[in-house]
Amino acid sequence: MNWTKNKEDYLIKWLDFTEGYKEGIRGEMDNSIPETTGWRPKKNKIPSDVYRSSKKYKYFQKLKNEADGCNICGEKKNLVIDHCHSSRKIRGVLCQNCNHGIGKFKDDLALLEKAIKYLKQERDNPLDYYTLKPLQD
């Protein structure tokens, strides 16, 4: 089967397969991906032209276009859709930097609170980087 002739069918089957894979329901789904000649997606990646024609992509583009900017810092460039990895619910629109920052803290509020506490402590007791002596105002 040539995947370029039936992009929407392929996309639906691929998304069904990856969702089943994530949930551990492999069983019968192993044969749900159409066989192709010479082309296989790498690491669950959907070809960009197939993804860009999907309803999901168009909806995400609409969300980003309607956003006033990043919900954290207000940046208007490089916006992405932020979502919770456990519930899979969309939380909002963030810039890539804020989204990566939250991701580095594993979406853990306790870790973020510790980081805030650390930054406040550092602000209250600053040391000179080179001499390691307290800075004088």
Residue 18 belongs to some domain of the structure: yes
Number of Cβ atoms within 10 Å of the Cβ of 94: 24
User: Is 26 a member of any domain?
Assistant: yes
- Give, for all 137 residues of the chain, the pLDDT tens digit: 445 556 666 666 666 656 554 444 444 444 444 554 444 545 566 667 777 777 888 888 888 888 899 999 999 999 999 998 888 899 999 999 999 999 999 989 999 999 999 888 877 777 888 888 888 76
Distance CA 52, CA 57 (A): 6
Q: What's 121's domain CATH number? A: 3.40.1800.10
Query: Which domain, by its residues, includes 69?
Result: 55-126
Q: 70 and 7 in one domain?
A: no
* Residues 6+ positions from 49 with CB-CB distance below 8 Å: 7
Q: How many domains does the chain have?
A: 2
pLDDT at residue 121, rounded to an integer = 81
